[in-house]
Amino acid sequence: MTGNPQKTVGEALAAARQALVPVSQEDAAQQARLFLCHALDVSQSGLVALSACPMPEAAQKTLDELVTRRLTGEPLQYILGEWEFMGLPFSTQKGALIPRQDTETLAEHALSLIKERGYKTVLDLCCGTGCIGISLSKLSGISATLADISAECLSLAQKNAARNGVSASFLQGDLFDALNGLSFDLIVCNPPYIPTGDLASLQKEVLFEPRLALDGGEDGLCFYRRIAERYKAYLNTGGTLLLEVGIFQAEDVKALFENAYVLKDLCGVERVVAVQI
């Protein structure tokens, strides 16, 4: 790609798409559009009308920088600095796990429980960006507390709460350590669950994400065991604990808890273990 100011917007899009193919493959066209919209500060719908217009030099420079970062394997979500979860916007940055559509299975079930059982309080444990707890509060009105061991993640979660107009509490500590006797109707958690030995073989872009949010110990189940030992003290009677799990982990995680059941995502993958007390 070059910074030729005579290039049209449509030509810049085509060049970006072609450049991204080696790393983005079938997603190259969509990612090129997202980068170009970011560089021009327009929506995807507004991009069509600009196709024959000259590509501004400053926008071309920005586009080139975005594409170069992506070619190193850096995730799209970090490059753009934001991503959508449950239809809501969330700021993203290195140091916090990227919000993923897989986790929406957990969030959607949580919303159904809030509605059916009248839950009033939720704890988002290992909150990262805060996408789960903030989404639940925004979409249902439930009172949310977000906890994480990382000060960097909590700062980002606070930013995302403000961005979505949500008032929440934020606590820093290792799992339940900062809760000081608090209890909740609902606890949601997407803990680290990748076995330590598998980390080195992950896709290059996943390795840009914090190891702290990925490493689940020798067999990937370390955090589930720790949660199983302590969660009852922080969950109100009649409450529910919802845990995202990795592929092929659901039955092993379920066995750690009483009164647990497994939820599948839209693709039929066992994605969530739910525990009731």
List Cβ neighbours of 225 (8 Å cut-off, separation of 6 or more).
256
Q: Are strands 270-276 and 260-264 parallel, antiparallel or unpaired?
A: antiparallel
Q: How many Cα atoms sit within 13 Å of 245 on the Cβ side?
A: 29
Question: Are 175 and 127 in contact, with CB atoms under 8 Å apart?
Answer: no
Q: What is the pLDDT of residues 30-87, one digit of tens each?
A: 999 999 999 999 988 888 888 899 999 999 999 999 999 999 999 999 999 999 999 9
Task: Tell me what the mean pLDDT of segment 102-130 comes to.
Answer: 97
First to last CA, the chain: 58
Question: Are 239 and 185 in contact, with CB atoms under 8 Å apart?
Answer: yes
Whole-model pTM: value is 0.90
pLDDT at 4 over 90: no
What's the pLDDT at 251? 97
pLDDT at 202 over 90: no
Amino acid 180 reads: N
Q: What is the pLDDT of residues 205-226, one digit of tens each?
A: 898 999 999 999 999 999 999 9
pLDDT at 180 over 50: yes
State residue 77 phi and psi, 5-degree precision: -65, -35
What's the pLDDT at 238? 97
pLDDT at 229 over 50: yes
pLDDT at 96 over 60: yes
What's the pLDDT at 3? 46
